[in-house]
């Protein structure tokens, strides 16, 4: 067999399936959790993305540069703000831009945001330089943290007011508050811890955790003072888009899954490799060994058990050793079977010969003569059966035997042959019917060590007396079909043949008239069972026989086979089935006349009436009249040298067919314009023509008439 789905592939597929399922479940749970633990997870995720930013601000030159730059910027801004002269001035306070520029140039300072044009004030330039550095760092922080924006901010205490200064990538802005109030700017609530500050879409400030579109993260920047303590300098604001973070965290999850999957694939491949060397390879070894044994079983005569070498000590090695033991057993067994097969072949051939001998010992299944028609059917359950039938004439009587030997197979068949020969031999040699059967019984019972016996129905049919004299030796009771009615042949049941010596057999007599049919069968028929363990039964045999009352013998047997098949369906036949039908012929009477003499009419009518004694009187008379008229005509008009008349009477189901064939004139009596005058009673008696009524009567009394003329022979066919 070709292996289409190796085990390791199956296991690997299973592994993959489990992994994918696991990943799927993990993903689902994770997604669900993501939504549930939104805030915590978001913050965690943000923290994860801040490693680089933390590093940027906590270590290295970046931090130093930032702090130095910030100090300068702070100083500059402070200078500007502490100058009361310029502090409150804004662009709207000047009538023109030139005036605005002039005002600040004179004071060598700029309020911010700077008014667009780059004015080269030395303080401002210094400030720009520092701010640029800060911007640069902020941009870097912004990009590396994945935030949508980054700001640096610090608070200045300006006496009665506090001012929060924001530095972005490109500009600086500020907001102020009174002592004890809040800033009203997008950004932070200064009094809160940075990580607690959340700003919603409407730029309102809230305290605590709340889901919003933006989430702001603070990093506090500190400076080490001379006394060694850390002092806050500024805070870094990182503003995140909540949706963006969620998306990113999913991406992270996916990438984790991909990594997990890849690991699984590698593990599975490793596993397959190991499985191949520990399981598959060894199994293959076993397969090869098994195949080679199978091959040898098919081809060679000498089979040698194979030795399998296994280094491992696992289940497969154990299987292999069992296999070796089994192999040896098989080899031994096969050798025995081979011997027995040869023996069986010989035996079967012998059985076939025996079966042929047995079947050829039975007479033909079909027989017909002027007295009887016979059709038989036998179906052995095994090759050689125990049923048989026989028929022969002896002393002008027709003997019909049906028998069933107890047991099956060869012993039954041998006993059957013996019984069959004995029956015929004794019946034909012994003058007394009863005595003949008694002798058969004694011979069969003598030295009958295997205690076999025969049930048999032996019928002696006397055609003249129209009766059957029979002996029923323990056999199924037959049926007779008489005028459409089924009669059971219910005479004395004697003991079986061969069962016990010196028994008397009673003979019985039953009417068997012309047209009657006898049905004989063995118990294989009525005891055939269907799947419900029901028997075909006498009742069904009787009903089937009655159902086929109008059928020919052959059709009757077919009907039995059909009804039996419908009944048993697929159940196995366990006994021989034999059916024999015999019909007493009454159907035809053939008469030949070669003399031209009116006396043949009387002879013909007499013989017809004798041949069909059961025919209704009216029909008999009609046929008689027709014969008189037609034969009279034929003889009267004949001009041949030698008149030949052949008459056949055939009894049909309800009708009588009469065929008259002759070599006389080609004259169709029924094709004439027979103007027969049906007398009315008012005719002149003298003028009446006394002839012409013959053919008219034939036409009137018969049901149908036909005439043919072929090869110098005229044939008249009449149905009555």
Partner 1 sequence: MEIRIKHEDAFIIEFVGRLDTVTSLELQKALDQEEVKENLVIFDMKETEYISSAGLRLLLSLKKNLTKQGKALEIHNVNDICKEVFKVTGFVNVLTIK
Separation of alpha carbons 471 and 437, rounded Å: 8
Q: Are 567 and 530 in contact (CB under 8 A)?
A: yes
Give the residue ranges of DSSP H helices in 387-503: 409-429, 433-445
616 binds partner 1 (CB under 8 A): no
701 binds partner 1 (CB under 8 A): yes
624 binds partner 1 (CB under 8 A): yes
Separation of alpha carbons 209 and 192, rounded Å: 12
Among 378, 412, 601, 604, binds partner 1 (CB under 8 A): 601
From residue 206 to residue 245, what is the string marking binding to partner 1 with x (rule CB under 8 A)?
----------------------------------------
Piece of the chain touching partner 1 by CB under 8 A; list 11-19, 69-77, 117-125, 696-704: 696-704
700 binds partner 1 (CB under 8 A): yes
Among 401, 629, 634, 705, binds partner 1 (CB under 8 A): 629
Length of the chain: 720
Instruction: Map tokens 């190991």 to a residue.
Output: 274
Piece of the chain touching partner 1 by CB under 8 A; list 263-271, 415-423, 445-453, 594-602: 594-602
Nearest CB to partner 1, comparing residues 201 and 686: 686
Cis peptide before 113 (omega within 30 of 0): yes
Separation of alpha carbons 140 and 489, rounded Å: 121
Among 293, 694, 702, 716, binds partner 1 (CB under 8 A): 694
Angle 645-648-650 from CA coordinates, rounded to 5°: 170
Among 278, 632, 704, 708, binds partner 1 (CB under 8 A): 632
**103-142: contacts with partner 1 (CB under 8 A):** none
192 binds partner 1 (CB under 8 A): no
From residue 400 to residue 429, what is the string marking binding to partner 1 with x (rule CB under 8 A)?
------------------------------
Least gap, CB of 595 to partner 1 (angstroms): 14
Q: How far is CA 39 from CA 195, 245, 407, 641, in A?
A: 12, 11, 94, 137
Q: Are 522 and 404 in contact (CB under 8 A)?
A: yes
Q: Are 579 and 525 in contact (CB under 8 A)?
A: yes
Separation of alpha carbons 359 and 420, rounded Å: 12
628 binds partner 1 (CB under 8 A): yes
Nearest CB to partner 1, comparing residues 160 and 673: 673
Piece of the chain touching partner 1 by CB under 8 A; list 415-423, 456-464, 528-536, 596-604: 596-604
SS (HEC) of 371-398 = CEEEEEEEECCCCCCCEEEEEEEECCEE
Nearest CB to partner 1, comparing residues 386 and 664: 664
Least gap, CB of 682 to partner 1 (angstroms): 8
Nearest CB to partner 1, comparing residues 165 and 635: 635
Residue 649: its H or E element:
strand 645-651
Separation of alpha carbons 353 and 356, rounded Å: 5
Among 58, 618, 666, 712, binds partner 1 (CB under 8 A): 618
Least gap, CB of 679 to partner 1 (angstroms): 3
Least gap, CB of 620 to partner 1 (angstroms): 8
**662-691: contacts with partner 1 (CB under 8 A):** 676-683, 685-686, 688, 690-691
Separation of alpha carbons 579 and 558, rounded Å: 10
Pairing of strands 467-473, 493-494: parallel
13 binds partner 1 (CB under 8 A): no
Spatial neighbors of 97 by CB under 8 A, at least 6 apart, are: 91, 115, 117
Using CB under 8 A as the binding criterion, the count of chain residues that bind partner 1 stands at 34
693 binds partner 1 (CB under 8 A): yes
Piece of the chain touching partner 1 by CB under 8 A; list 83-91, 369-377, 613-621, 662-670: 613-621
Least gap, CB of 602 to partner 1 (angstroms): 6
Burial 692-718 (b: 16+ CB within 10 A, else e): ebbbbebbebbeebebeeeeeebebbb
Separation of alpha carbons 387 and 379, rounded Å: 9
Instruction: Map tokens 């200045």 to a residue.
Output: 156
Piece of the chain touching partner 1 by CB under 8 A; list 150-158, 304-312, 463-471, 697-705: 697-705
Least gap, CB of 658 to partner 1 (angstroms): 15
Q: What is the CA radius of gyration of the chain?
A: 63
Considering all CA atoms of the chain, what is the largest pairwise distance in Å, rounded to the nearest integer? 182
Which residues contact partner 1 by CB under 8 A?
A: 598-599, 601-602, 605, 617-618, 621-622, 624-625, 628-629, 632, 676-683, 685-686, 688, 690-694, 696-697, 700-701
């Amino acid at each position: 067999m070709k292996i289409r789905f190796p085990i390791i592939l199956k296991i690997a597929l299973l592994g993959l399936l489990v992994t994918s399922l696991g990943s799927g479940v993990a993903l689902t749970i994770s997604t669900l959790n993501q939504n549930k633990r939104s805030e915590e997870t978001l913050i965690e995720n943000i923290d994860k993305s801040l490693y680089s930013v933390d590093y940027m601000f906590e270590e290295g030159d970046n931090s130093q540069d930032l702090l130095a730059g910030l100090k300068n910027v702070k100083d500059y801004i402070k200078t500007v703000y502490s100058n009361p002269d310029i502090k409150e001035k804004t662009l709207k306070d000047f009538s023109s831009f030139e005036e605005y520029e002039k005002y600040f140039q004179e004071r060598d300072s700029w309020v911010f945001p700077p008014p667009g044009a780059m004015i080269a004030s030395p303080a401002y330039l210094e400030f720009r330089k520092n701010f640029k550095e800060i911007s640069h760092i902020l941009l870097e922080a912004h990009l590396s943290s994945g935030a949508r924006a980054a700001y640096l901010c610090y608070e200045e205490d300006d006496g009665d007011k506090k001012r929060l200064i924001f530095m972005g990538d490109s500009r600086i802005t500020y907001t102020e508050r009174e002592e004890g109030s809040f800033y009203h700017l997008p950004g932070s609530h200064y009094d809160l811890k940075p990580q607690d500050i959340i700003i919603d879409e409407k730029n309102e400030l809230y305290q605590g955790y709340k889901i919003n579109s933006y989430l702001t993260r603070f990093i506090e920047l500190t400076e080490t003072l001379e006394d060694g303590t850390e002092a806050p300098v500024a805070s870094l604001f990182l503003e995140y888009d909540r949706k963006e973070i969620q998306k990113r965290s999913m991406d992270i999850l996916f990438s984790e899954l991909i990594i997990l999957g890849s690991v699984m694939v590698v593990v599975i491949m490793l596993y397959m490799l190991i499985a191949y060397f520990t399981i598959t390879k060894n199994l293959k070894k076993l397969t090869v060994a098994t195949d080679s044994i199978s091959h040898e079983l098919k081809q060679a005569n000498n089979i040698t058990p194979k030795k399998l070498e296994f280094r491992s000590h696992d289940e497969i090695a154990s299987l292999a050793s069992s296999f070796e033991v089994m192999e040896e057993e098989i080899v031994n067994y096969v050798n025995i079977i081979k011997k027995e097969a040869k023996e069986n072949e010989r035996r079967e051939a012998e059985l076939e010969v025996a079966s042929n001998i047995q079947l050829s010992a039975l007479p033909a299944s079909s027989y017909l003569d002027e007295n009887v028609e016979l059709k038989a059917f036998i179906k052995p359950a095994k090759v050689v059966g125990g049923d048989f039938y026989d028929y022969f004439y002896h002393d002008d009587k027709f003997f019909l035997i049906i028998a069933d030997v107890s047991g099956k197979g060869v012993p039954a068949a041998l006993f059957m042959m013996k019984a069959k020969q004995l029956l015929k031999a004794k019946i034909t040699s012994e003058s007394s019917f009863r005595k003949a059967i008694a002798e058969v019984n004694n011979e069969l019972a003598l030295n009958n060590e295997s205690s076999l016996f025969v049930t048999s129905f032996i019928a002696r049919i006397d055609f003249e007396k129209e009766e059957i004299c029979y002996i029923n030796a323990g056999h199924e009771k037959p049926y007779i079909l008489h005028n459409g009615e089924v009669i059971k042949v219910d005479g004395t049941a004697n003991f079986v043949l061969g069962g016990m010596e010196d028994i008397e057999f009673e003979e019985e007599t039953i009417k068997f008239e012309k047209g009657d049919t006898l049905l004989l069968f063995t118990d294989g028929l009525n005891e055939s069972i269907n799947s419900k363990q029901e028997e075909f039964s006498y009742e069904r045999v009787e009903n089937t026989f009655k159902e086929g009352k109008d059928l020919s013998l052959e059709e009757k047997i077919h009907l039995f086979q059909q009804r039996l098949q419908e009944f048993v369906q697929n159940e196995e036949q366990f006994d021989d089935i034999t059916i024999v039908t015999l019909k007493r012929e009454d159907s035809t009477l053939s008469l030949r006349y070669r003399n031209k003499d009116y006396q043949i009419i009387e002879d013909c009518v007499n013989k017809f009436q004798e041949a069909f004694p059961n025919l209704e009187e009216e029909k008999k008379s009609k046929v008689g009249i027709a014969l008189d008229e037609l034969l009279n005509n034929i003889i009267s008009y004949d001009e041949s040298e030698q008149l030949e008349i052949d008459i056949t009477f055939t009894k049909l189901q309800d009708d009588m067919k009469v065929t008259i064939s002759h070599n006389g004139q080609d004259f169709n009596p029924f094709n004439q314009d027979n103007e027969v005058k049906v007398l009315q009673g008012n005719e002149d008696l003298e003028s009446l023509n006394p002839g012409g009524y013959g053919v008219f009567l034939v036409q009137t009394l018969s049901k149908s008439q036909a005439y043919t003329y072929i090869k110098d022979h005229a044939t008249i066919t009449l149905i009555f």
